[in-house]
Amino acid sequence: MLRRPVALWAAAAAGYAFLYVPLIIVVIYSFNNSRLNAEWVGFTLDWYDKLFHNQEMLSAAGNSLKEMKENHKPLKSPSKCTPKCGCGSLVPPGSGNPGRLLQ
């Protein structure tokens, strides 16, 4: 019985490593002084300095955050949800098919 939870934890750890290790590598290499990032040349913050002084990039990020804020609908729990609320949550319990998504 002990084997199943260990295998489950190992599979979860492998899945998270598959997702997050490449992201960590990209973040580490974002501080590299090389233009090609094929080898580590040295530590620098120049890329971030260029990013934060690029008005087009800052404007695009601001637009994305503004759009996300304007179109965000808070999620409701399925027990408080009604079919007319439009939140995209599951149909309330007792409606016959609680696993069906709202259309």
Span 43-87, pLDDT tens digits: 999 989 999 999 999 999 999 999 888 877 665 555 555 555 555
Give yes or no for a contact between 28 and 44, defined as CB atoms under 8 angstroms apart: no
Average pLDDT for residues 14-32, to the nearest whole number? 95
Strand partners, 62: none
Q: Where are the chain's structural domains?
A: 75-103
The pLDDT, as a whole number, for residue 78 is 52
Contacts of 42 (CB under 8 A, 6+ apart): 32, 33
Average pLDDT for residues 19-38, to the nearest whole number? 91
Does residue 91 have a pLDDT over 80?
A: no
The pLDDT, as a whole number, for residue 69 is 84
The pLDDT, as a whole number, for residue 86 is 58
Q: What CA–CA distance (Å, rounded) separates 32 from 52?
A: 17
Task: Give φ, ψ of 32 to 5 degrees.
Answer: -80, 145
The pLDDT, as a whole number, for residue 68 is 85
Output the average pLDDT for the chain.
79
Amino acid in position 95: S
Q: Hey, is 83 helix, strand or coil?
A: coil
